[in-house]
């Protein structure tokens, strides 16, 4: 059955605290990456149960929701429901370690254009195959044009990085691009090639090539963010727009050439040198470590840390050994998922594992990891063991990738180069061993198959069990909250589609009413429990004994008051009776500061319809709407 990702997006936004709690959202190959104002109000288990969601991960100051191949569909629908704050920073004002901060920066910078880099890498591989087959003339125009196209993304990599880094570090994008272009400008490259001494204000410039470089431009844009803010703060407004870019560019390009460029080159070279030294000590052990542990790094969301190393290897060496070993880890998890498909008798699990194995075969392993292997535990371990063995094979043959790519069956041409057939054969053997061993180990070791458990449970159901279920159902009906829900606040009731908040008016958050309050006292409309309270006091979520959930949202955009004028009377988990005071708010303060004080009172389930009782209603006493 096809998944409705529009519904997935609606439920995600609701469970993550709504538009008020979502500062920003981006996506990578398989994950939605949310920046939330308060992660503590989110129930991870409920988010993970939403149809279309594979699992959730909290890392690097982000709340990550793993979707899989359809992440772009979900992202499109989510962005229609939330107002994105481009200035939101996932690590700002959050206590996260330096490693998490670095990984957050790397993922934010590289994720948007990784597929573009990979496409160029695959094109390089295809050209290599055609050359080996004598199917293309390397002196002809066709080859030469395709060849320089395949290298363009790497040659101008600093420019690509400057675009995404400018968004991460809050720099004017055009200023950042000009700084990057200066580093790969033909005139500067001519200086580098000439080798003649060059001085700037009497200081000798170390002439280095910055094409395909990574760390120098990241450092440059980071420092540029402070330079830009300095001039924006102190320059008179009449000249600020013109002279802020001029001063920032005129200062940062020379500073990069004199300091940050050489420092960045040295740091990048050192990091790459450490990895390559360890690899050369024993490629087989390196293969065991990378093949066995790579997908574990993916689980914790820290796999982005290796990206500068691999990109640097392509720039400095013309190839990368890490990707050659990483391929085994990818295919081993796909193999483990395929083993689950072959062994399970559960129809639903068989369908999920088949799909996960197929997507893993093409390089996207999150569905296999989160949807199948990690959930069943033993297949995950089998996959890691198989990946380690496959990695050892790859290391023994010194398998490498000649063009940037994300390992998968479609990117195999990136591992081929004329004159290096042995390494390519080793790569093929390593992924074959990893896939087959992952499959076989999973079948042999096994896992808990829900199909057999379900069959046993079904056969053990007695008449007493059925009677007990019927009694419980009857009790639920007896104790159910009436479909007529009382107004939580005294005021004029209007249909929710008439309120001045687009997220609520669109009924994406659910159906209900808006109440134009006469005072600032909000009461419980029924007996139930408090499921969620926003720290600022403007939002309360409740549910009844049957699980019917309602949301009370006080005012429009009042989250910006950061709690001023609100006094919470309840906490998450509290049990309340109809008429208990939930929140007191200063209606006059809200309106004085220009906020609409309308209280949104809705049923969180978007499939429920309501019959609105318009007009003035007394809190607790009068009906605001009926659920129909």
The CA-to-CA distance between both ends of the chain, in Å, stands at 28
SS3 of residue 383 by DSSP: helix
Phi, psi of 603 (to 5 degrees): -90, 125
d(CA 603, CA 609): 9
SS3 content of the chain, % helix, strand, coil (to 5): 55, 15, 30
Tokens of 328: 């085994």
CA 228, CA 241: separation in Å to the nearest integer? Answer: 11
253, two tokens:
């390009």
- Say how far apart CA 550 and CA 424 lie, in whole Å: 59
Residue 97 phi, psi dihedral angles, 5° rounding: -70, 170
Q: What count of other Cβ atoms lies within 10 Å of the Cβ of residue 317?
A: 12
Q: Of 167, 127, 163, 130, give the one whose Cα is nearest residue 147.
A: 127
Q: What are the backbone angles phi and psi of residue 520, rounded to the nearest 5°?
A: -110, 30
43 Rama sector, left if φ>0, alpha if ψ -120 to 50, beta otherwise:
beta
How many whole angstroms separate alpha carbon 315 and alpha carbon 319?
A: 8
Token pair listed for 9: 């997006």
**Tokens (6 digits) for 140:** 């002809």
Sequence-separated contacts (24+) of 53-57 with Cβ below 8 Å: 53/8, 53/12, 54/366, 54/367, 54/370, 54/371, 55/370, 55/371, 55/374, 57/31, 57/299, 57/300, 57/301
The residue with tokens 């390593």 is 430
Q: Active-site residue 28, yes or no? A: yes
Give the β-pairing of 610-612 and 581-585: unpaired
Contacts (Cβ under 8 Å, ≥6 apart) of 138: 131, 144
Q: Which of 28, 120, 382, 384 is catalytic?
A: 28
63 by DSSP, 3-state: which?
strand
The two tokens of residue 192 are 């580098």
**Hey, what are 466's tokens?**
């059925």
HSE of 291 in the Cβ direction (CA atoms, 13 Å)? 36
Residue 145 has which token pair?
A: 């044009």
Handedness of CA 111, 305, 148, 160 (dihedral sign): positive
Q: Report the C-alpha gap between 527 and 544 in whole angstroms.
A: 6
- Are the beta carbons of 115 and 29 closer than 8 angstroms? yes
* Rounded-to-integer distance, Cα 468 and Cα 101, Å: 53
As annotated, the active-site residues are 28
């Amino acid at each position: 059955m096809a998944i409705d990702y529009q519904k997935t997006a609606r439920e995600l936004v609701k469970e993550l605290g709504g538009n008020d709690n979502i500062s920003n959202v981006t996506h990578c190959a398989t994950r939605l990456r949310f920046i939330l104002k308060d992660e503590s109000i989110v129930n991870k288990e409920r988010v993970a149960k939403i149809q279309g969601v594979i699992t959730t991960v909290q890392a690097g100051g982000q709340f990550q929701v793993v979707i899989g191949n359809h992440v772009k569909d979900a992202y499109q629908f989510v962005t229609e429901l939330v107002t994105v704050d481009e200035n939101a920073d996932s690590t700002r004002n959050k206590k996260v370690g330096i490693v998490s901060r670095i990984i957050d920066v790397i993922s934010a910078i590289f994720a948007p254009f990784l597929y573009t880099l990979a496409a160029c890498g695959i094109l390089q591989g295809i050209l290599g195959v055609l050359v080996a087959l004598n199917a293309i003339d390397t002196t002809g125009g066709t080859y030469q044009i395709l060849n320089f196209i395949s290298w363009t993304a790497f040659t101008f990599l600093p420019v690509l990085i400057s675009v995404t880094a400018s968004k991460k570090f809050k720099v004017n994008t055009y200023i950042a691009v000009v700084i990057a272009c200066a580093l790969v400008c033909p005139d500067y490259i001519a200086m580098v090639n000439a080798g003649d001494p060059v001085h700037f204000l009497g200081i000798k410039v170390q002439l280095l090539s910055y094409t395909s470089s990574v760390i120098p431009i990241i450092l440059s844009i980071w420092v540029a963010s402070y330079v830009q803010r300095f001039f924006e703060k102190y320059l008179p407004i009449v000249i600020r727009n013109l002279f802020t870019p001029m001063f920032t560019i005129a200062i940062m390009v020379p500073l990069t050439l004199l300091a940050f460029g050489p420092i960045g080159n040295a740091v990048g070279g050192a990091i790459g040198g450490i990895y390559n030294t360890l690899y050369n000590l024993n490629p087989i052990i390196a293969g065991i470590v990378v093949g066995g542990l790579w997908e574990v790094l993916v689980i914790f969301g820290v796999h982005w840390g290796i990206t500068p190393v691999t990109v640097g290897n392509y720039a400095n060496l013309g190839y990368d050994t890490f990707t050659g070993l990483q391929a085994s880890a990818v295919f081993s998890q796909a193999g483990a998922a395929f083993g689950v498909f072959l062994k399970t008798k559960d129809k639903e699990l068989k369908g999920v594992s088949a799909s996960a194995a197929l997507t893993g075969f093409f390089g996207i392993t999150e569905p296999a990891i989160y949807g199948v292997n990690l959930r069943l535990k033993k297949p995950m371990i089998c996959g890691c063991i198989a990946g380690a063995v496959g990695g050892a094979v790859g290391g023994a043959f010194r398998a490498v990738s000649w063009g940037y790519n994300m390992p998968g069956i479609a990117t195999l041409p990136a591992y081929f180069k004329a004159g290096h057939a042995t390494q390519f054969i080793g790569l093929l053997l390593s992924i074959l061993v990893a896939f087959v061993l992952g499959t076989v180990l999973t079948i042999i070791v096994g896992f808990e198959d829900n199909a057999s458990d379900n069959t046993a449970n079904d056969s053990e159901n007695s008449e007493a069990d059925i009677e007990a279920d019927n009694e419980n159902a009857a009790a639920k009906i007896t104790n159910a909250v009436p479909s007529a829900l009382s107004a939580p606040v005294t005021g004029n009731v209007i249909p929710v589609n008439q309120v001045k908040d687009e997220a609520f008016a669109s009924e994406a958050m659910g159906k209900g009413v808006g109440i134009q309050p006469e005072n600032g006292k909000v009461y419980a409309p029924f007996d139930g429990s408090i499921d969620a309270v926003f720290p600022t006091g403007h939002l309360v979520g409740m549910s009844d004994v049957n699980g019917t959930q309602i949301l009370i949202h006080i005012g429009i955009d009042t989250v910006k008051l950061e709690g001023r004028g609100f006094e919470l009377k309840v906490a998450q988990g509290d049990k309340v009776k109809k008429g208990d005071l939930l929140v007191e708010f200063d209606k006059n303060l809200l309106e004085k500061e220009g906020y609409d004080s309308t209280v949104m009172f809705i049923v969180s389930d978007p499939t429920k319809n309501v019959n609105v009782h318009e007009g003035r209603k007394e809190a607790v006493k009068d009906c605001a709407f009926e659920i129909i």
